[in-house]
Amino acid sequence: MRSTKIVATIGPASREPAVLERMIDAGLDIARLNFAHGSSEEHAETVSRIRAASARVGREVGVLQDVPGPKLRLGPVSGGHVELAADTPVVLTSQRLEGTTERLPIAWEGLSTLMQAGDVIYLADGAIRLRVREVSNGEVLADVEVGGTVASRQGMNLPNVNMTLPAVSEDDHRLIDDGIAMGVDIVALSFVRRREDLDPVRGQLRASGRGGVPLIAKIEKPQAAQNAAEIVDAADGIMVARGDLGIELPIEEVPLVQKRLLHLAGERSKPAITATQMLESMVHSTRPTRAEVTDVANAIFDGTDAVMLSQETAIGQDPVAVIAMMAAIAESTERELPYGRWLVERGIRSDDPASAIAYGAVGAVYQLGLKAIVAPTISGGTARLISANRPNVPVLALSPDRDVVRRCGLYWGVHPMLHADTEHTTELIDACAAAAIEAGVAGPGDRIGITAGLPAGHSGGTNMFKVHTLE
């Protein structure tokens, strides 16, 4: 059973019910909805389609809402896309208009106050480079140094320019409310710069009654890389968003930042997603490049919980094949991972009983040859702690809460299952044994590890570990 999780962006190429079913069957674990594009009504319809496809396939899939955050973006452009040719001028304006090759609207009136002649502007994840010629009358005249195609609502990067955009805008709060209403399982916040940026969203989730929804901090600004430890502590997980990182930082530093971020997340038992251009060539090709395959494998060796697909599944020619390829790379890589070293280096070491039991359970896998760990969980916390210690056997997370089952789909090595709660210890042990057999991870005569909280049915009370031999 594959341990590394696959997050895939749902878009025009992948939102049809039949395609979603095939993606789930191929290994999709978390469906990402990019709220920087499309309307809330369209996303709500996509969530309904994902739920229906998941039910037909018979496997729960979580939905991740990716909130745009404080990023400069283009406004609408004519036909959805325009081509900027090298060595041509273009005006960036705050006027409300439909963009053309000569004039592009920017969804922020303060741009002209920040720019001066000689400044560089990047579009399309750095593929397009503009050089500011002059600023006048609230508009920016720039020359296209490297051309290409720009799209409506596409992001803009201004390296070395400090902006005072709010961490969470009114539009972001509105989109989060919309996401809560449609039942998203995880929220990812873009362009986090410090731990306090998470507070407004955390409060909003609690006020809505969905305080248990995990909040993922996207690390894509230099300030976030500098404040990484405090952000990891404050968030429920992180996303290493390498696209913007590679523009805002010297690109040669991105691999080192990635390794440091994944190490920090592992030490704190927080899940991490590695994102951007992982199998980018498969947007148009049937096979990835060797460099892309190596990149995915290296992220897994670095300790990522999940690998993410963006354009590959949103607009790519064959989203199902991309997921199948990602799954194959992960399964091959997992055969050679440094599980023993990870048990020493990863996970929380404290006097917390749940953390200690998680560590001991994974150690018992190697000492006693356990075939699986079965972890009944109310909140998903125990499964997350076990996952962080990286057992090389499946972890079955049994929960009576469908929302928790979907969230646990992000945790490395965890295979969540919807399971009725039990009131007595003997019933709990029997249920765990039956689940291991049903999942095909162990059989008669095999030993499994069982974690539990006694008395049963209380969140945050994991205080028991049992080695159990199946009959």
How much of the chain, in percent, has pLDDT values that exceed 90?
77
Confidence of residue 459 (pLDDT cuts 50, 70, 90): low
Structure tokens at 156: 């803009």
At residue 111, the pLDDT reads: 82
State the average pLDDT for the chain.
93
Cα(first)–Cα(last) distance of the chain, in Å?
23
* Tens of pLDDT, residues 19-54: 999 999 999 999 999 998 889 999 999 999 999 999
Residue type, 283: V
- Contact between residue 405 and residue 61 where contact means Cβ atoms under 8 Å apart: no
pLDDT at 460: 56
* pLDDT attached to residue 235: 98
Please report the pLDDT score of residue 107 as a whole number: 75
The whole-number pLDDT of residue 430 equals 94
Q: Is the pLDDT of residue 258 over 80?
A: yes
Least trusted range by pLDDT, from 122-131, 258-267, 317-326, 359-368: 122-131
Alpha carbon distance 414, 4 (integer Å) = 9
Q: What is the pLDDT of residues 207-243, one digit of tens each?
A: 999 999 999 999 998 899 999 999 999 999 999 999 8
Amino acid at 98: E
Please state which of the four CATH numbers 3.60.15.10, 3.40.50.10860, 3.40.1380.20, 3.40.190.10 is assigned to the domain occupying 340-469.
Answer: 3.40.1380.20
Closest CA to 364 of 471, 470, 465, 439: 465
Alpha-carbon gap, residue 111 to 405, rounded angstroms: 44
For residue range 120-129, list pLDDT tens digits in order. Answer: 999 988 889 9
Q: Which fold has domain 78-157?
A: M1 Pyruvate Kinase; Domain 3 (2.40.33)
Closest CA to 47 of 7, 15, 83, 89: 15
Query: What local confidence, expressed as pLDDT, does residue 361 receive?
Result: 96
Token readout for 300 is 């897994």
Active centre residues (catalytic):
32, 73, 218, 276
**What pLDDT is recorded for position 402?**
96
Contact between residue 26 and residue 56 where contact means Cβ atoms under 8 Å apart: no
Q: What pLDDT does residue 151 have?
A: 87
Q: H/E/C letters for each residue in the chain? A: CCCCEEEEECCCCCCCHHHHHHHHHHCCCEEEEECCCCCHHHHHHHHHHHHHHHHHHCCCCEEEEEECCCCCEECCEHHHEEEECCCCEEEEECCCCCECCCEEEECCCCHHHHCCCCCEEEECCCCEEEEEEEEECCEEEEEEEECEEEECCCEEECCCCCCCCCCCCHHHHHHHHHHHHHCCCEEEECCCCCHHHHHHHHHHHHHCCCCCCCEEEEECCHHHHHCHHHHHHHCCEEEEEHHHHHHHCCHHHHHHHHHHHHHHHHHCCCCEEEECCCCHHHHCCCCCCHHHHHHHHHHHHHCCCEEEECHHHHCCCCHHHHHHHHHHHHHHHHCCCCHHHHHHHCCCCCCCHHHHHHHHHHHHHHHHCCCCEEEECCCCHHHHHHHHCCCCCCEEEEECCHHHHHHHCCCCCEEEEECCCCCCHHHHHHHHHHHHHHHCCCCCCCEEEEEEECCCCCCCCEEEEEEEECC
- Confidence class for position 408, pLDDT limits 50, 70, 90: very high
Q: Where are the domains of the chain?
A: 5-69+167-334, 78-157, 340-469
Average pLDDT over residues 95-114: 86
Integer Cα distance of 30 and 64 in angstroms: 7
The per-residue pLDDT for range 50-74, each reduced to its tens digit, is: 999 999 999 999 999 999 887 788 8
* Share of residues in the chain with pLDDT > 70 (%): 98
> Two tokens at 433?
């044994």
The band of 457, judged by pLDDT with boundaries at 50, 70 and 90, is low
Cβ atoms within 10 Å of 400's Cβ, excluding its own: 15
CATH for 5-69+167-334 is 3.20.20.60
